Amino acid sequence: MTGGRGGFEGLDACVHCGFCLQACPTFLATGDESDSPRGRIELMRGLERGDIAATDPALVYHLDRCLGCRGCEPVCPSGVQYGHGLEAARSRITAVRPVPAMARLALWALTTPGVSSVVYWFARMLRASGLPRLLAGWGRLGFAMGMLAATKTGGRGRYGAVKSARKRPTPTASYRPLPPITAQIFRGCVMQGLFSHVHDATTRTLAVNGYEVREVPGQVCCGALHAHAGLTDEARALARTNVAAFGDGEEPIVVNSAGCGALMKEYGRLLGDVRAERFAARVRDVTELLAGDGMQGPVAGAPLDLHVAYDPPCHLLHAQGVAVQPLKLFAAIPLLELVPVPGAAECCGSAGLFTLLEPEMSRAVLKAKLERLREATPQVVATGNPGCLMQIGAGLAAAGIAARARHPVELLDDAYRAAGRYE
């Protein structure tokens, strides 16, 4: 991103073979070559050469409709780095076209310290009223309400959520050899504002597995939403703050949001310095830490008689290449049955602010996934990213599918609680 061509070089390897087309949710939704990776790569190459202006309506239209899910990367035999090219192209477009007002407003409300804490407080109050669940539906307001309702903790005794007498149970003991390994937790903005119960579950489940999770003051939003919107300078400023806040230690930095983890693992490229590279090398998804270096998997929990559809977040599976570790987590819960869902690895249509900015395409992509989920009849759809949890949760509610979206560590947390591993 800081190199001479800003990421466009990642597109050089494309040989137009078209293997990526069937992996692209937007191409599958429209059948239009310009909504495919191959078509977009041609547009982006034209942009870099100067043959296509950054203001060209067709260029902007088709790149705006790209989810940035990177589902096209693992299937590409030539190793095209589509995501790097897309960020470079979006950065060029943003330089000549203002970021849409709605995106600016959302970024300001969700990621600005001071502002976001008030916004999240109101959101939590609204969520606690129960209204969002009642108003969930397909319209703009209904979908937004469904997204908010989907952030609620699963602690209602349904679908494997085990009730606890204590609000903040703590692990009775680590079940791994002492001394504990220290890990620093990244809290993020949306995760901290609406999914703090997932942070609690992360801390507890890691403690059972021999980690002591430490807080890091001074950390800020990871910058992923900004980078995806083409606001590279803002993303860099946030990255620099985080690199300084987490310091130069060796401890792993644990992240439970796939979108945040994907960008944080790229801070070295984003900032182009050695300190940021060292930071990036420490970043681990929570499922990577729980699975362990030897992939032995987490300590087993109590049985949960649950049918679970795992929906791997694009930014975990495609961007970070973390595929096996979440399966190790599910394997540590006896009786839990993973329900196969065709096309589970395809994007849900959330893609950061995409669900707000491109609602038509976002819902088209989501509805294809929902139909497959309806047939699979899981009780829980597990996914490790806040945007996916909200998008899929809202979709399940709007489509009248009786399943809940939950983070994988919430399920492990339930299994540990049921096994008496917390007091």
Residues in contact with ligand SF4 by CB under 6 A are: 14-20, 23-26, 37-38, 40-41, 66-72, 76, 78, 80, 82, 347
**Residue 59 Cβ, how far from ligand SF4 at the closest point, in Å?**
14
As a whole number of angstroms, the distance between CA 244 and CA 177 comes to 31
**Residue 318 Cβ, how far from ligand SF4 at the closest point, in Å?**
8
Comparison of 72 and 191: residue with beta carbon closer to ligand SF4? 72
Comparison of 35 and 413: residue with beta carbon closer to ligand SF4? 35
Q: Are 222 and 260 in contact (CB under 8 A)?
A: yes
**Residue 238 Cβ, how far from ligand SF4 at the closest point, in Å?**
22
Comparison of 346 and 413: residue with beta carbon closer to ligand SF4? 346
Comparison of 6 and 160: residue with beta carbon closer to ligand SF4? 6
**Residue 47 Cβ, how far from ligand SF4 at the closest point, in Å?**
15
Comparison of 67 and 149: residue with beta carbon closer to ligand SF4? 67
**Residue 346 Cβ, how far from ligand SF4 at the closest point, in Å?**
8
**Residue 157 Cβ, how far from ligand SF4 at the closest point, in Å?**
38
Comparison of 20 and 398: residue with beta carbon closer to ligand SF4? 20
**Residue 232 Cβ, how far from ligand SF4 at the closest point, in Å?**
18
Comparison of 5 and 163: residue with beta carbon closer to ligand SF4? 5
**Residue 356 Cβ, how far from ligand SF4 at the closest point, in Å?**
16
Q: What is the 3-state secondary structure (H, E, C) of the chain?
A: CCCCCCCHHHHCCCCCCCCCHHHCHHHHHHCCHHHCHHHHHHHHHHHHHCCCCCCCHHHHHHHHCCCCCCCCCCCCCCCCCHHHHHHHHHHHHHHHCCCCHHHHHHHHHHHCCCHHHHHHHHHHHHHHHCHHHHHCCCCHHHHHHHHHHCCCCCCCCCCCCCCCCCCCCCECCCCCCCCCEEEEECCCCHHHHHCHHHHHHHHHHHHHCCEEEECCCCCCCCCHHHHHCCCHHHHHHHHHHHHHHHCCCCCCEEECCHHHHHHHCCHHHHHCCHHHHHHHHHEEEHHHHHHCCCCCCCCCCCCCCCEEEECCCHHHHCCCCCCHHHHHHHHCCCCCEECCCCCCCCCCCCCCCHHHHCHHHHHHHHHHHHHHHHHHCCCEEECCCHHHHHHHHHHHHHHCCCCEEECHHHHHHHHHHHCCCEC
Comparison of 20 and 286: residue with beta carbon closer to ligand SF4? 20
